Amino acid sequence: MSDIRYLQPTDTSEAMHLSRVAGWNQTEDDWRRVISIAPDGCFGIRTEGRLVATATAICYGKELAWIGMVLTDPDYRGRGYARRLMKRALEYLAGRDVAWIKLDATDMGRPLYSSFGFEDECLVERWWRGGTEGTSARLHGDTVLPLDLDGAAFGTDRSELLAKLSPYGCVAGTNGYAMWRPGEKALYFGPCVARQEEEGRRLFDGFLSAHGGQDIFWDLLPGNSVAVRLASAAGFECRRRLTRMTLKGRGSASPLGNNDQYVYAIAGFEYG
Ligand SMILES: CC(C)(COP(=O)(O)OP(=O)(O)OC[C@H]1O[C@@H](n2cnc3c(N)ncnc32)[C@H](O)[C@@H]1OP(=O)(O)O)[C@@H](O)C(=O)NCCC(=O)NCCS
């Protein structure tokens, strides 16, 4: 028996096993957060008493939904579990009348998403830097987020997500903000949104002066050449490339008004 079920907060340690085996950076807190934001959009397949596959879909209003955490235990791959979960997630989103659906696809996941009609939008890169000695500055700054700017960057309102991420680490001003949070393998820098290059640089430099002693992951859109330059100059190296993919959910949907030039770091492959 392998029915699709809603993921529950009690599933997080098993879900964590799936992401850890895949080498992902998510923590159990990340799983808890996704489930708390989208309790009716997080699905799993349980078989032989184990959670063996997952997929999550977060709605940012009616404009945009983000699919993530598409994972199948290596022992259970090739049995159609990810396909069933994707179908279920897309049915759920059709019921929510969402205009656009996006995700960040690994090379393993991409053929599956293409078969559902997702089209390539742009590349997303994971950059990494190992910790260096002697950085211990403290970061000071506002934590009142410029939500209008985030809306202009991302194309829709993701204030609920940002409110849940900001307590881990956040510095903000009227022209930008940066956040960071713990990861399973490295500290995660992101999301970071800035109106101008100087602000992006200031936020990133401030973050790095306080946290450069730790290993850091930074997921960026290579179309933002300023972000790429900042990452290279600070000694980060590109470790992985994923493909951001898009599916039109509703026929009459007008284009999403996002602006990648404001995006210095994404919020996570599972959030966009
Ligand atoms: C990608 C992943 C979720 C697929 O899970 P799965 O349950 O094995 O997938 P399914 O059995 O439903 O297969 C779906 C499609 O994936 C592809 N696929 C699955 N197994 C494959 C294999 N061994 N070789 C090539 N393609 C394969 C096929 O396109 C398949 O399409 P089909 O139904 O027409 O055969 C799984 O390999 C995985 O967890 N990978 C690591 C994490 C990851 O990269 N996740 C994607 C994040 S975007």
Domain closes at, from 122, 142, 171: 122
In this structure, what CATH number is given to the domain that contains residue 230?
3.40.630.90
- Nearest CA owner, ligand 1 atom 36: 72
At residue 241, the 3 state secondary structure works out as: strand
Cβ–Cβ under 8 Å, residues 135 and 209: yes
Residue nearest to atom 1 of ligand 1 (CA): 109
User: Is the overall model pTM greater than 0.85, yes or no?
Assistant: yes
How far apart CA 265 and CA 247 sit, in angstroms, is 22
Task: Find out whether the beta carbon of 110 lies less than 6 Å from any atom of ligand 1.
Answer: no
List pLDDT tens digits, range 163-173.
Answer: 999 999 999 98
Residues 146 and 261 in one domain: yes
Tell me, what CATH number does 99's domain have? Answer: 3.40.630.30
Nearest atom in ligand 1 to the alpha carbon of residue 104 is 48
Q: Which of ligand 1's atoms lies nearest the C-alpha of 111? A: 29
Q: For residue 186, is pLDDT > 80?
A: yes
Average pLDDT over residues 41-70: 97
Of 146, 152, 131, 129, nearest to 203 by C-alpha is 146
- pLDDT at residue 2, as a whole number: 76
State which of 122, 140, 173 marks the end of a domain. 122
- What pLDDT is stored for residue 118 in this prediction? 98
Domain region containing 22:
4-122
Which residue owns the Cα nearest ligand 1 atom 16?
Answer: 112
Q: Which residue has the higher pLDDT, 186 or 143?
A: 186
User: How would you class 4 by CB atoms within 10 Å of its CB: exposed for 0-12, middle for 13-18, buried for 19 or more?
Assistant: middle
Q: Is residue 251 part of a domain?
A: no
- What angle, rounded to 10 degrees, do the helices at 12-21 and 28-37 form? 120
Closest CA to 205 of 233, 245, 240, 168: 233
Chain segment 113-138, per-residue pLDDT in tens = 999 999 999 999 999 999 986 666 66
What pLDDT sits at residue 134? 60
| Residue 168 within a domain | yes
Is 137 domain-assigned? Answer: yes
Q: Is 272 within the bounds of a domain?
A: no
Please check whether residues 144 and 37 belong to one and the same domain.
Answer: no
Q: Cβ(70) to ligand 1 under 6 A? A: yes
Statement to judge: residues 20 and 103 lie in one domain? yes
Residues 69 and 142 in one domain: no
Residue 54 and residue 108 in one domain = yes
Mean pLDDT value of segment 127-150: 80
Helix (H) or strand (E) segment spanning residue 209: helix 197-211
Is 93 found in the same domain as 147?
no
53 lines ligand 1 (CB under 6 A): yes
Gap between the Cα atoms of 236 and 141, Å rounded = 25
In total, how many domains does the chain have?
2
